Structure formats: C-alpha cells, structure tokens
C-alpha cells in the first residue's frame, strides 16, 4: 500500500513537509517496482534529502502542492521510476558468491567469491553513476546504504 502524508515511515516524522512528500513520492515509486519497504525507505530518504538541497523554488513549490492522491499515484509514474531505479547498485548474495547488480538489470555486472571484493566493485560503479550502493547481508536483508 502506498504511503501518503497521513501514513508514512516514522523516520520521516521530523522532516520538513516538502522533504517528506518527496521521500513519500520516491519510496512509492520504488514500492511500485517491487522494492521491499526495508530497501525503499533508506534509499528514498537519502535521495529525497539530496533532491531537497538541490531543488529550485519552482520544484519545491510543485512538491508542496502535491496531494495525497498524487503521492499515492507515483508508483505508476515511469519518469520517477527511471530517475530512481536505473541507478541503484546492489551487492547481493547468490549461493556461494556475491553479485554486483544494478537495479532493474537482468544479470549481474560482476560475481565475486568474497563479499569485500563485491563491495569494492559496487563502490566503483556507484561512484561513477553518482548513486547509491545497497549492501545486503547473506539472508538478503539490507546491511547498509551508501550514497555517492
């Protein structure tokens, strides 16, 4: 179920209203793509903060004017999805290896025996793309999200 200004993660309670709306919009887009809430929340938080510091007055005003219906509809908004999801880089467990995979890619960019090697490669890719690196644990849960 998508979030709105009446129902959103507790970690966004102290956000400015515009920043919170942007985080909601981004997280809803990720949920619409099949991301787990535990993945969407930290990524959307970091991306929204980055957007907020760079947004123009017009962009801030546009976001301020968005209704809950607009925010809930973003999981179907292709332009928001492309902005968020085409960039995210993940280090994921895969049987006895660790893979480095860009969100939405059909296959991994690289596979490594050691997690540390996969993290190093993931950092390189994320830095080049100026995006996020999401590092997962062996059980698939998120260990860390780093913004570059």
List the chain pLDDT tens, one digit each, 148 residues. Answer: 689 999 999 999 999 999 999 999 888 877 776 677 888 898 889 888 988 998 899 999 999 999 988 887 755 444 444 444 457 899 999 889 999 988 877 778 889 999 999 999 999 888 877 788 999 998 888 888 888 7
Q: Nearest CA to 143 among 127, 122, 129, 128? A: 122
Instruction: Confirm if 73 and 32 have CB atoms less than 8 A apart.
Output: no
How far is residue 118's CA from residue 98's CA, in Å, rounded to a whole number?
6
Domain range list for the chain = 10-85, 89-147
Report DSSP state, residue 130.
T
Distance CA 119, CA 115 (A): 6
User: Whole-model pTM above 0.75?
Assistant: no
């Amino acid at each position: 179920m998508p979030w709105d200004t009446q129902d959103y993660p507790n970690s966004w309670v102290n956000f400015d209203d515009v920043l919170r709306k942007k985080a909601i919009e981004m997280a809803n887009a990720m949920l619409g793509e099949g991301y787990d809430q535990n993945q969407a929340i930290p990524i959307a938080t970091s991306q929204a903060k980055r957007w907020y510091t760079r947004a123009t007055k017009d962009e801030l005003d546009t976001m301020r004017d968005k209704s809950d219906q607009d925010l809930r509809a973003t999981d179907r908004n292709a332009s928001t999805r492309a902005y968020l999801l085409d960039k995210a880089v993940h280090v994921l467990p895969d049987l006895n290896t660790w893979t480095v995979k860009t969100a939405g890619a059909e296959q991994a960019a690289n596979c490594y025996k050691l997690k540390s090697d996969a993290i190093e490669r993931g950092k390189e890719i994320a830095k080049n793309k100026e995006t996020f690196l999401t590092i997962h644990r062996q059980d698939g849960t998120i260990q860390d999200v780093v913004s570059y």
